């Protein structure tokens, strides 16, 4: 548990220094580049598609790489704190996510998002609030 918290803090500090973050978003079934050129811009929306996609589970799911947002003051734009994805055991439903993700986030807070990444992996979206003494604002 302590190791997970240390890794979470280190990941947050690394993410805090980045000006923009790309994010993999689930895109359903994408079979080829032509379909990705049509599907991924819709999946990424206003942030935009970076041009990359990959098959996560053959015939079942793909993900698109969406551009990150750039903010002068990241904490002001994201008051819940940095968002990271924590890898977990398989999650098959929203109900399972509600049972697994809060514990997977450790000292962070589950933001309600989760993604299946193949048959035996999933990720939970977690956010972290900096202690007051770390706020650069």
Domain boundaries for CATH 3.30.1490.230 within the chain: 20-70, 73-137
Between the alpha carbon of residue 95 and those of residues 29, 102, 108, 113, 120, the distances in Å are: 23, 12, 20, 12, 17
Give the pLDDT band of residue 67 (cuts 50, 70, 90). confident
For residue 91, how many other CB atoms are within 10 A of its CB?
A: 22
Average pLDDT over residues 92-121: 86
Tens of pLDDT along 12-34? 666 555 445 677 788 888 888 99
Domain 20-70 has CATH 3.40.50.261: no
Topology of domain 73-137, CATH: Dna Ligase; domain 1 (3.30.1490)
Chain Cα centroid distance, residue 112 = 11
Chain Cα centroid distance, residue 80 = 14
């Amino acid at each position: 548990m302590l190791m997970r918290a240390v890794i979470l803090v280190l990941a947050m500090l690394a993410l805090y220094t980045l000006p923009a973050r790309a994010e993999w978003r689930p895109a359903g079934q994408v079979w080829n580049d032509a379909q990705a050129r049509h599907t991924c811009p819709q999946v990424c929306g206003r942030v935009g598609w970076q041009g990359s996609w990959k098959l996560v589970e053959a015939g079942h799911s793909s993900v698109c790489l969406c551009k990150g947002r750039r903010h002068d003051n990241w904490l002001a734009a994201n008051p819940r704190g940095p968002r990271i994805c924590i890898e977990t055991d398989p999650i098959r439903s929203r109900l399972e996510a509600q049972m697994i993700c809060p514990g997977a986030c450790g000292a962070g807070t589950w933001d309600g998002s989760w993604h299946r990444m193949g048959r035996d992996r999933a990720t939970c979206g977690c956010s972290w609030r900096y202690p007051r003494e770390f706020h650069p604002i």
